[in-house]
Chain A
Amino acid sequence: MTGNVLLMLPEILLGAGAVLLLLWDLRLPAEKKGLLCWGAVAVAAAALAATWAPDIARTLSASPADAASVFAHESFAVDGLSVFLKRLFAITAILVFITAKDSVDAFPNARGEWWTLGVIALLGMFLCSGANDFMTLFVSLETVTVAFFALAAFRRDKPASVEAGLKLLVMGSLSAALLLYGIALIYGSTGTVFFSEIAGKIAPRALPDGTLVVPAIPAEMVVGAALVVLGLGFKTSAVPLHVWVPDVYQGAPTPTTAYLSVGSKLAGFVLLIRVVAMFGASPELGAQIAAFMSVIAGVTLLYGNLGALPQTNLKRLMGYSSIAQCGYLMAGIAASWEAGMSSALFYMASYVGMNLAAFAVIMSVSRATGSHEIDDYSGLARRSPMLGMALTLALLSLAGVPPFMGFFGKFFLLGAAYGRPELFWLFLIGIACVVVALYYYLSIVRRIWSEEPRIRTEIRAPRRVTLTLAAVSVVLIGGAILPNLVQAPATAAVKQMGVFPGKPPVPPRALR
């Protein structure tokens, strides 16, 4: 079965768009390179629109074979999960491109390639969201990573940027090696790379006479699965492959950091959810991997939140905050039941808004002040009330305070972990970290509002950026008041995977 080519329309559009942007870049005079931004935005918007193409294809096609949701010999899934993530990725790219335009236009060299690489990274993310076998997983993941090597090292004139690219390269190679080794072990024990076939081999089967055969899970399968989860931790910035995060966030050009902090991270998460769903076919392996992830989640939460406390550089703090946010998401995924998975999806959606709003402000402020020190954000609300307000809303949402989407997401991520009695310790770490996180986010909010600026000149952000920030802020509040607009598709996507139980898996122990 080859499937309907419409199912891959968004990826085709992105691939073609990247090539066209590159060609256009060749013909554009240097002073008009800014136009490429709108080209990249148009490509991402076209891809976003094309994510509705499968629905159209399904309505149009008469034969059920064409309506299949897998493509190219089951290598590529077009299901609720992948469509949900593709829309998030496209929105991420559009927001990053719109808000990064001024910073990229000010780069001294090779301004055009940034947009092309950005679209290629987006293509990689789209492929990640549908990856349904280990080869596609690896190739699509590397498409994202390699694009980000270049994007991080983009400012060749700045040693910090080159160092960031190099760090990403070294850590990326290490994690790729771990991932590949894990894949090899799994291939060795199952003889296939296709997720559906692996799941079929490890899942318990009922014989015709009704007895249930539970396949034994060999040790190399468990090690392989653990290595895959570890390797993906490089993208999601989970401990122990998180070490690059603060340095690269600080050193890379800010537009790259913004893109990296959201796009690359969510690409890792969608793959993580996919492989967890596959391992979950075997209750034994699923439980082992969930336990492994819960430990990672706990350590990541503590590391990110405690590490953020002494930071003085906002970009670096956002790096630690990004590690911390990964911990919350991992906690929900480690709970491996419907509420945890669907609220992880919800939280990813809110993460796009709140993190990109924060970085949009960081870009605008640093263009005026040339600094990322938190001290230089003192009195920001006096220098630009709009930017101060937008950064405040983004930080409060990251801290998980109502009435913002971050509150709703965090509540149910931790609530899902609570639903499993054996993860009660993780829930306790989670709520302790909420208090710690409140401290460092509010410390910045305090500086923005109640301290006097050292320099009183007004900071002006382009109208394009302020309008984007206003829209994102409205979505962050609106999404908390009407959460079902996002939660319903997220729940549907998780239900469609059919692996995760809809109720807490074990009856919760009374609190004694």
Chain B
Amino acid sequence: MINQTPRLVLGICGRVFGARTRPRQNELDTLRCPTMLNSLANIGRFGNFSAQIAVRVGRRPFFYREIIAQLWSTTTQCVLPVMAVTFPFGMVMALQGLEIFRMFGAERMLSSLISIATLRELSPVLASVLVAAQGGSSCAASLGAMRIKEELDATEVMAVDSIKFHVVPRVIAMTIACPLLNIAGSIAGVAGGYFTAVYIKHESGGIFLTELWAFMGPMDIYGGLIKTTIFGLTIGLISCYHGFRATGGAAGVGKAVNDTVVHSVVAFITLNYFLTSALFGAVAP
């Protein structure tokens, strides 16, 4: 009876969480349990994977060429989508902002509002969404295809650490690329606002440029860069995690890409709230 107690407890816990008490041997890795337990297990696996990456970052050899190649491909892939998204968003902000400011006769304020909103919030978030959609998903797709074609196993057979060679450069490249793309996005966003305000709504261009930096502090510029560095790290880790664990042929790669985009967007938008509160000090006086 005493010997049976742990199994009994486990069994009751399993019933409560709905898990099967004794998983079949071939299901041990992907425990067929309901959503809650499974997502908890996934969070654990993700933490484990991140720790494995963190251990390998400081260790020789550093694959510089691989890092630079990944950085180049991520940046060139993403720069056009990022600018193509922030430019029209700046235009929309000018369009809607003018409507508010004309109520108070404060059209002068428009450009400072646009620059603050773009640098602090819009450009980091939109750039990261596009980096997740373009860079993260292509990273997951390429790693997933390597996993399916057993190229990662081949790397291991050749006594090259596959995480060290394939994953770490991608994560580092994503972490560096995201702030760079944020700079491009910020410039495009403010340019979009200028375009609408001056050429479409016929405000004065000189006032726009003078007032651009009126409320701007150094924290507004660094804050966006700090945020996007953290977002880039998140996207890199999540996309490599999903790509590295892809199973089940072409369908598995599709699912990995899908999960990458959704999970990384949810993760960094949740982080964004806490980072904004911390960096820009928005607490009740």
A, B: real partners: no
Which residues of B come within 8 Å of A, CB atoms?
none
**A residues bordering B, Cβ < 8 Å?**
none
